[in-house]
Structure 1
Amino acid sequence: MSAQVPTWTWGASFGTVSDDKVNSLAADAAGNIYATGYFRNTVDFDPQAGISNLTANYVDVFILKLNNGGGLEWAKRIGSTSFSAAELGQCIALDPVGNIYVAGQIGIDTVDMDPGPGTFYLTGTSSRDAFVLKLDAVGDLVWAKQITGPQDELPIAMVVDVAGSVHLCGRFNGTGVDFDPGSDTLLINSAGNTDSFVMKLDPLGDLAWATTMSSAAPELEEALGIAVDAAGHVYTTGVFAGTVDLDPGPGTVNMTAVEDLDIFIQKLTSDGQLVWARSIGGNGPQRAEGIALDASANILLTGSYPDSDTDLDPNAGTEIRSAWPNDLFVLKLDSASNFQWVRTMGEGAPQYCRGIDIATDDDGSVFASAYLTDSMDCDPGSDSLFVASVGQQDVLVFKLNDGGDLQWATTIQGTYNEIPSALALGDAGGVYVSANYHSPQISFGGITVNNASGGSSTTDMVIARLDSTDLATSLPTNTDTHSPGAVVYPVPFSDELLVSGTDANELIQLLDATGRVVLRARTTEGLTRLNTVALAPGAYVLATEGISGARARVLKW
């Protein structure tokens, strides 16, 4: 039996000497990639030999389409003529016929929302207004809508259902926010410091409904993820502090955070009425970043929890986990919120890791992106797969099967900060990841891309593709007791692999993907150094015998 990791097939980096960020990804069945975010100055959005420059007046929205080979199809800009107003692309989604939807923010200025030769103006009325626009499959404007209020309206996540209805969630504050982008008005007031919203637009961009949670200042809520099932039910997740009423209707379903921030999960009908609401909490701040549904409408969440005991079962049962200092989780519930399983990564390691985005495929397999700050075991089961952060924060991408067992994990690494922003599944086996990075250079597999500034003072963006087709993912069974004292690093490794925490004179064996022993050595007391220069890049299993009895999956670049 064997284990392999997917191959990074390409990576595309974009940026200038200023901060530029990609915030959201979508992918179609052909493997075309769509992205949005914001940029400054002039950016060449052609990652290959050509040049396709877009110039921002200050901070402008970009909308980008790449083909499944990483080549540019087109790039669009949304911005004002002002040199002081910022326009931000926050989320992007597709409908079944290939129309493209983008949501974000505009500042106090007049913005041309038509990325083509025509014009369609929206004028910001507050410090930050929300927008939603629809483009056809070639990037031409279909419609653009605006949500106005006196302060800040931020769409954070978006999904489009099979009928072409648009579902948005995010946060807002202030009184008299008009959530109807048409000629009518639907005024909603923020009761706390920051309140969350969920809204639905029909395929023409007209308001179907909008809801919010209610709390009193200084409390807050923030909706961070949204998904829709085949029946039109809407699922959201996010964070809240204090006591919050999670029923958007006339009823009351109060949830009180244990301390700091807790997680909420909410299911609404297709017309915005509450089905159920749950919370996850403990001492310290818990956070849910991403939500996805499988084909049976099972719910997958990812996020993080702090160093105190956290009950990750939102119902009457208990699933207590402790982190040090902050670990990531993947949680599976059924459509009625019943607990299925939870998997955590990072326990016992002195590092900070956080789940950012999550997706599922037709088989119910789970794909997620996260970041980590140190070496950790990212196998939530009885085996071990140690990965290490080269810089301050690196990107982790991993796959679990529908039962929560680790299938593979890989990283994007640099010497400073690399933070994932989104993950999407496209053509068969295609896993697409976006991240923003400070490092002068980042590497994944045999691919290296460079920060446009040449240093670490500004943020550039990267979009990369993993090919996970035809991977054998089962592992040799370890019948020994895993010793937490045995540590293997760095992972991924190159010319040398280090093993500590074993007794002297234990046998170490390194097995390749076919189960063949490719290296044998005896341990020394303290630290054992293995010369791996002659080994080909790929996945290996390292096994130690004797008292430690450790087994770990390790990767060589």
Structure 2
Amino acid sequence: MPRNLFSLFACILCVMLYSGCSGNGFPTQPQYSPASSEIQQTMQYTREDNFNPAHHLWSYFHIFIDPADPDNFGMEIIPVRLTATHWNVLQYLEKGPCTNCVTIKGIMPSGSGTLLVDLEIRHPFIAPNLTGFDVRGIAMFPGSYLFSESGLLTSDLSDDGGLINAEGYTTLYNPSTVGSGPGGLQGYIKGKFASAVFPDSTLNGYIRHNSPGALNTRNAFYAGQTILKTYEIKMPTGPFVFGYAVDASWAPPTNTPVTNPILDFPPEANCPEAWKVSVDHAPIGQGLTDLGGSALILIDVYDWQGKSTVIPPKIECTELFDGFKTASWLEDGAGFSRFTVEVENEKLAPSGSYMSLIVVEDTENDSAPGWLDLTACQIFELTVVPFDNATPIAIASLSPASQTVCEPINFTDNGSYDPDGGSIVKFEWDWDNDGNFDEEGDDVFHSWDAVGTFQVQFRVTDDEGSQSTLVTPLTVEIVNALPTAVAQADKYAVQPGDMIAFSGTDSHDNDCLGYEIVDCEWDWEFDGVYDETGMTAYHAYADEGTYYVQLRVTDDEGGTAVLEVPLKIQVSYDYFDPIPMATASATIELVCEPILFEDDGSYDPDGGLIIAWEWDWDNDGIYDEMGKAVIHSWDTPGIYHVGFRVFDDEGKSAALDPPLEIAIEHKNPTAVISTNKVVAFVGESIHLDGSGSYDNDCDGHEIVSWGWDYNNDLVIDEYGAVVDTSFFGKGDREVQLTVTDNEGGIANASVVVDVNNGWARTWGGSNTDIGKSVAIDNNGNIWVLGNFYLDCDFNPGEGVDEFESVDGTSDIFLSKFNSSGDYLGVWRFGGSGSDFPIAVVIGEPGYIYVAGIFQYTIDLDPGYFQAIATSKGSYDFFIVKLSDIGDYQWCITVGGTGEDRIRDIRYSSSDNCLYYTGTFANTVNFHPFGGTDNKTSNGSFDVFLSKIGTNGPYQWTKTWGGSQADWGVGLAVENNGNVYVGGIFQGIVDFDAGPGIFNATSAGSFDVFILKYLANGDFSWVNTWGGSDMDWCNSVTGCSNFGELWVAGGFTGTVDFDPTANVDNRTSNGGTDAYLSGFNPDGSRISTATWGGPGYDEAISTYYISYTDNVYVTGVFSDTVDFDPGSVLQIKQAMEIMTSSSQPFIITAFMSGLRHGVEPKEISQIPSSHAMHRTALSALPGALIILSISTPRKESTIILPTVLPTLI
């Protein structure tokens, strides 16, 4: 053998112990001790990127083969070392367990220029627990052919060599992955042999190694066995070196110890991507030719998981077409899915064979590391042949083959084709087979006007201009259309000797070209003997009796026909009664609908005239109406018999027997629905009106019932002509109306309402912008209060409404939107210091109130005029009254020498007053209208609660606090003016601001309080709770006209949430958990719900919606949280688990009819990659408004989504 070419052939055996060949990564190699005889049974699946591992490298070799050795083809196997030291590769490869597991058993020439190499693999382990699956050996050669679309380089079996009998192709372990993988899986270092250049093919062929036996249905490689396979190699010149690796992929067995690997290993032990790809093709016409043509490629994909994890295969053939062609699924077979794709010689490549690449990618490939390509490939040769312009084949059919003259016959092309793959472009028909083609088309009709047998020729022309005709023309049989005999007599009842005139002129020939009747023959006695001829004839009967007359007609083509029913003639000396005949336009009709009644050919048998017609509508013998044709209707359902009587000119009469029978049915009503909206928010009230429905009866009947089916489940949910409802599930909701009239008639109508989750609006500027509070006025307008820095465009739409803060500090904004989210305007408050908003509330009709804090000076009139206020200390607070169109009304400011902050404000419609709470320091005059009401704090901060009229006067202020810091946080007001305040306190605090004393002591740094004051300012009660760490309150909400009061916030450590002598300890799951506690108006606790994860979780805002009788809670959470707090009476499993990093949430807590626990009805997550300052809540009819505030480092937006509650 010549030695002028040195080539490298590498073969890698992939023993795929799932996630095998499509698996999800490379795990840490099990450690091998030289002293032990078996690998560890437990393989580690730990990876830094949490990607499921797949491959376990057994060994990697270079194999030297010298075919010139005259004796035994000299060969030597040398281990190759890797850099992945944590796989223990150096020791693992050189000392075991696979030191001698690969053996070349023989090398010999095939006799056809190739080399046959027998490779034997011995399973390196004997434990059945390590049985391998989907084993394959991969042969690598220098690349000489590039698939340009996929960028894969492969051998084209040129002088550099290649694998002849490859069963498939893969990109695994190609040289581009050197140094990749965990710890540099394929990073080579110099070992015992390192002088050869590694092959550069990125796509290489492989052969599978499976243990023999019919019971091996999973491509298993049993532990302890050896498998020999022969590789046929296109030989490079001279001695050559190829690499050989044994690579295993594995999943732990389900049953141990393993006795039957086929049963004891889970399905995941097999290769997840396609383990086999078979390709075949069928030419379309002539197939692929040098002038184009096409072929159908059949791709059978064998995948253990079925086609659900298979991305449809793609085919590439650079010489024939650009790009990929994607196959479509055709059918599933035994263990495989068949896909098909049509390919064309788009580039008009000359005749020859061309390599095509089939690529079958696994659905997990996108999530796999870049060095692990989960793709199965196959190389398939496409053959282009010289174009052979074959003559097309003409095929035609007709229906029917026998037809009467003038009747059409359908002629169609019946699958004519061009054998060379071209198309038929012309279809021609020769109706008399005279060589002249008379008509074109692949589907035509033709008729003949003469009787006879006709030959029809058919010719087709292909796109190369070749033509052909039918070998045997079509044969058509055209037969005569027989005539029709029609006869009349001028009299049908006569006396003996009276002459009767007979006519056959209405008889006709059924041919289409004016053929005619040429003979009429009359048989007067109906004895088969025709006595007279002529279109008209006359005859008289001498004797009394009944006679039947037959007529036979003959057309000019010899066709004959007779009367189907002979004429009947009565001959008598007596006059005959008339014969009544009548008809109705309908025998079944609805009430009130008219029916036409007509004489239908009544006659006098003795030749007289019919002179009168009478109708009896109820067949009671009394004839109600006269006329030859009349109209009548009934207003009551039932079966009616209508009598009909005629009179002739001799005075004789006769009645119809039997009378006409008419069925009158009830007319069902008509259901009509009108609604004020077909698109609504979840929970939004929808007005449904069925009063437009009506009864169709004519006698004033009416609708007596309107039934509404809201769930399309055939169950009536509500009755009434006009109703209001709402839906709490998203999607199209079909409303069915069923109306019933007073006769039991039913009609239905429906309307579809699109129930959706509303809208969202965002706006912001170049710096931090924060939304603080949101409220809904009586007109459904949404008011958003917040603050902004530097500049901000407040119009979230296409327009621009931009403002800058005064002196570059924080100013306050108040934005207005309608219920559809349309921007209506913005009002600004600001001054020389930093000013911050607290709350916006809706007051008496037509007015709103804004509360906030300020430094230095501030202009509290957002209009054209000024209302300048100056703080007395570091921070004072203000309240501004505006009209609902933003016009300034008045403002008040309160503060002393320290820091004084308002924290919450509420309006009470019962006494038209405002209540507000917060914290103050030192001495503060709380009278805002010029009077004096000084209060002095006991500690660094005390709590205040104030009440004023909406236009004055000042009512009162109550304060309380201890020697440390105490804060008023939130409040709620009953309809009767009683007020509840929630907050936090330290140390000992007397919560009775009057002459009485009610001391409470905190258990930790901060505890929570909730207290009640009456409308006149008298103390009622207080509840406190807390643990040894910090606990706090964020929100207070009342509901159901104050049937309940709910407090929300956060806590740490262990807290007893029962303020009485009883104990209800809850322990946070992490640093901070959220809570929601409910109380009755007398202070007794209803229940407490807590939830949280290992991170920071906090309930921030609460809101009550009366029509759903639900409290909605917002807040923030991190890590993983179970939002179902659970209770002894809960009726559901935990609703949902969410994983987040400081993400905001909303919980719907179900309240209706439940007094001992809360149950979450919906948990929604608002994704945010930034810290959540706060969430504020309000509500439209049917819509919960969540104001969420994201604060990025530089640019922020205020998110105002309409999130709608869904109740389960």
Q: Could you state the TM-score of these two structures normalised by the residue count of structure 1?
A: 0.68
Q: Among residues 90, 114, 138, which one is paired with 2:772 in the alignment?
A: 90
Deviations 1:218-266 (A, max 9, x none): x110000000111321111000111111111221211111111000111
Once the two structures are overlaid, the 10-residue window that deviates more, 69-78 or 391-400, is: 69-78
1:473 deviation in Å? 3.3
State the partner residue of 1:197: 878
Q: Among residues 161, 164, 172, which one is paired with 2:854 in the alignment?
A: 172
Q: Among residues 300, 307, 311, which one is paired with 2:980 in the alignment?
A: 300
Task: Report the CA distance shift for 1:101/1:69 in structure 2 as closer, same or farther (over 3 A).
Answer: farther
Whether the 8 Å contact between 2:843 and 2:907 is mirrored in structure 1 is yes
Letter in 2 for 1:365: E
1:364 deviation in Å? 3.6
Q: Tell me, what secondary structure is at the counterpart of 2:1046?
A: strand
Whether the 8 Å contact between 1:92 and 1:103 is mirrored in structure 2 is yes
Identity of aligned residues (%): 26
Deviations 1:130-182 (A, max 9, x none): 0011111111122210002112111112211241421122211122x100000
What is the 5 A alignment of 1:86-485?
A: 86-109=768-791, 111-125=792-806, 126-175=808-857, 177-216=858-897, 219-230=898-909, 231-306=911-986, 308-325=987-1004, 326-346=1006-1026, 349-361=1027-1039, 362-426=1041-1105, 427-437=1107-1117, 439-445=1118-1124, 446-450=1134-1138, 452-453=1140-1141, 459-473=1142-1156
Distance 1:412 1:321 in 2: 27
Deviations 1:387-425 (A, max 9, x none): 221111111101111111111111231212112221001
State the partner residue of 1:75: 760
1:116 deviation in Å? 2.4
Task: Report the CA distance shift for 1:72/1:428 in structure 2 as closer, same or farther (over 3 A).
Answer: closer
1:269 deviation in Å? 1.2
Distance 2:982 2:846 in 1: 26
1:214 deviation in Å? 3.2
Q: Tell me, what secondary structure is at the counterpart of 1:282?
A: coil
1:194 deviation in Å? 0.9
1:339 deviation in Å? 0.9
1:273 deviation in Å? 4.0
1:288 deviation in Å? 0.9
Whether the 8 Å contact between 2:817 and 2:825 is mirrored in structure 1 is yes
1:115 deviation in Å? 2.0
What is the 5 A alignment of 1:522-533?
A: none
State the partner residue of 1:506: none
State the partner residue of 2:64: none
Distance 1:77 1:363 in 2: 35
State the partner residue of 1:12: none
1:381 deviation in Å? 2.4
- Structure with bigger strand share is 1
Task: Report the CA distance shift for 1:466/1:152 in structure 2 as closer, same or farther (over 3 A).
Answer: same
Residue ranges of structure 2 left out of the alignment (5+ in a row) = 1-680, 685-726, 731-755, 1125-1133, 1158-1208
Once the two structures are overlaid, the 10-residue window that deviates more, 128-137 or 263-272, is: 263-272
Distance 2:1062 2:1020 in 1: 21
Distance 2:1029 2:1095 in 1: 15
Task: Report the CA distance shift for 1:390/1:69 in structure 2 as closer, same or farther (over 3 A).
Answer: farther
Distance 2:943 2:1042 in 1: 27
Q: Tell me, what secondary structure is at the counterpart of 1:440?
A: strand
1:384 deviation in Å? 2.6
Distance 1:68 1:192 in 2: 50
**Moved beyond 3 Å, runs of 4+:** 29-32, 67-72, 447-453
Q: Tell me, what secondary structure is at the counterpart of 1:352?
A: coil
User: RMSD over aligned Cα, in angstroms?
Assistant: 2.0
Deviations 1:80-113 (A, max 9, x none): 2x2xx1111011111233211100001111x221
Q: Could you state the TM-score of these two structures normalised by the residue count of structure 2?
A: 0.32
Distance 1:421 1:283 in 2: 27
Q: Tell me, what secondary structure is at the counterpart of 1:148?
A: strand
Letter in 2 for 1:256: T
1:123 deviation in Å? 2.2
Task: Report the CA distance shift for 1:31/1:245 in structure 2 as closer, same or farther (over 3 A).
Answer: farther
Distance 2:892 2:989 in 1: 29
Whether the 8 Å contact between 1:441 and 1:448 is mirrored in structure 2 is no
1:447 deviation in Å? 3.8
Distance 1:68 1:425 in 2: 16
Distance 2:870 2:967 in 1: 25
Distance 1:451 1:314 in 2: 45
Task: Report the CA distance shift for 1:164/1:367 in structure 2 as closer, same or farther (over 3 A).
Answer: farther
State the partner residue of 1:481: none
Distance 1:425 1:150 in 2: 38
Distance 1:31 1:334 in 2: 34
Whether the 8 Å contact between 2:896 and 2:921 is mirrored in structure 1 is no
Distance 1:167 1:336 in 2: 22
- Higher relative CO (Cα under 8 Å, sequence separation at least 6) belongs to 1
Distance 1:68 1:147 in 2: 39
Whether the 8 Å contact between 1:91 and 1:104 is mirrored in structure 2 is yes
Distance 2:1137 2:970 in 1: 27
Task: Report the CA distance shift for 1:30/1:381 in structure 2 as closer, same or farther (over 3 A).
Answer: farther
State the partner residue of 1:555: none
Q: Tell me, what secondary structure is at the counterpart of 1:414?
A: coil
Whether the 8 Å contact between 2:1022 and 2:1083 is mirrored in structure 1 is yes
What is the 5 A alignment of 1:8-27?
A: none
